[in-house]
Amino acid sequence: MRTFIVTCLHILALSALPLAGAAETERKPVLQVKGAVADAPISFSMAQIQDMPATTLTTSTVVTDGVHQFTGVLLRDFLAELEAVGDTLTATALNDYIVDIPLSDLERFDVIMAYSMDEKALERADKGPLWIVYPRDAHKELQDIRYDYLWVWQLSELEVK
């Protein structure tokens, strides 16, 4: 019986290891924000981003099939919390893709910094952990190819200018 209990304790201890790793991953910085924001530069973990008020939008994309449900933080609210001042948001991806987004877009449209698609966390191998998503299907003008270039997946850095 003692061997059974010791074995169960070892199994229990080992099963906790991935959870500890997951918790550490949630605290690891996934986004750097710099430029014209209070206390810049600032790093955010996924846990910090997910603690912010969430918004969900449903839209199609040009890089996936069908319509998807995206959940994340409204970029205008995120930047307002950081007291951002400027006209342009420069977004950088993990692969060094860089694009300038007019801050006026964030006022006109409910652009989100998504961390999940169809209720599944965005993984780095599939456009994650963060993806700038426009409400493409809600506004005809957003179906223009010029807006498609502003959807930054694998987002790693924002700079307010």
Q: E strands along 51-142, which residues?
A: 55-60, 67-74, 88-93, 98-102, 112-117, 120-121, 131-133
Cα gap 88→82, rounded to integer Å: 15
Fold (topology level) of 28-160: Sulfite Oxidase; Chain A, domain 2 (3.90.420)
Q: Which residues of the chain have pLDDT under 50?
A: 1-24
Taking a C-beta distance cutoff of 8 angstroms, is the pair 158, 91 a contact?
Answer: yes
Instruction: Give tens-digit pLDDT for 114-139.
Output: 999 999 999 999 899 999 999 999 99
Taking a C-beta distance cutoff of 8 angstroms, is the pair 31, 131 a contact?
Answer: no
CA dist 97 to 33, 77, 120, Å?
A: 16, 24, 24
Q: How many CB atoms lie within 10 A of CB 79?
A: 22
- Per-residue pLDDT, 27: 81
Distance between the two ends of the chain, CA-based, in angstroms?
67
Sorted by where each begins, the domain ranges of the chain are: 28-160
Instruction: Give tens-digit pLDDT for 134-161.
Output: 999 999 999 999 999 999 999 999 999 9
Cα gap 129→155, rounded to integer Å: 7
Strand 67-74, strand 112-117: pairing: antiparallel
- Per-residue pLDDT, 126: 86
